[in-house]
Structure 1
């Protein structure tokens, strides 16, 4: 079964110096960067058609880099299909206030996030 959502809904910049990264993107691109919540700075790019995201201190398995976040109807079904197609689960389904989140690495080594809204 193919997932019909699959829409990119955000990005996450991982950095070992998140405050410095937040200052850079705010100064250079005019992004609005909120104070951290769960060690995650929410970012608004300021464009009505743009994609918003966040900046956080990267964990040991993704210390720096950028991940796109893809909206899915079911994280469980998407993880199953991804594993069948060579992906590795980095963080299984986690629950937050308004959504669920999981992290995968695709067969080529690219990290992605999955978002399932409640």
Structure 2
């Protein structure tokens, strides 16, 4: 629990960001789904995957880490009890749940629970 499992780069011009990161760092980028381009940074070495997305109005640009947790509901409650604010409550996807929060210092992060 608490392992950083990914990152998300939010951009108002995600196509340009995809082109930049794939050209400069040779990241492998998948075709988009829901304005989200999955990114493989690993190559032959160890690294974390992530994605580039069309930034929403509440997070138009920037990078946030995604932290894997055993229970997203318990982790949201614990984070809020310790001063975090929920930006997007638990969302359900095919194989995981995802929520976005802001810590007490203003840094955004995601919580991920695999199904």
Length-normalised TM-score, structure 2:
0.97
**By how many angstroms is 1:46 displaced?**
2.9
1:79 matched residue in structure 2: 76
Matches within 5 A, 1:1-118: 5-47=1-43, 48-118=45-115
- Give the length in aligned residue pairs: 114
Moved over 6 A (4+): none
Q: CA deviation at 1:45?
A: 0.6
Which ranges in structure 2 are unaligned for 5 or more consecutive residues?
none
Provide the alpha-carbon RMSD of the alignment. 0.7
Matched residue SS, 1:73: coil
Which runs of 5 or more structure 1 residues have no equivalent in the other structure?
A: none
Query: Residue 68 of structure 1: SS of its match in structure 2?
Result: strand
Q: Tell me, in whole angstroms, the C-alpha distance in 1 between the residues paired with 2:54 and 2:2.
A: 26
Deviations 1:3-39 (A, max 9, x none): xx00000000000000000000000000011111011
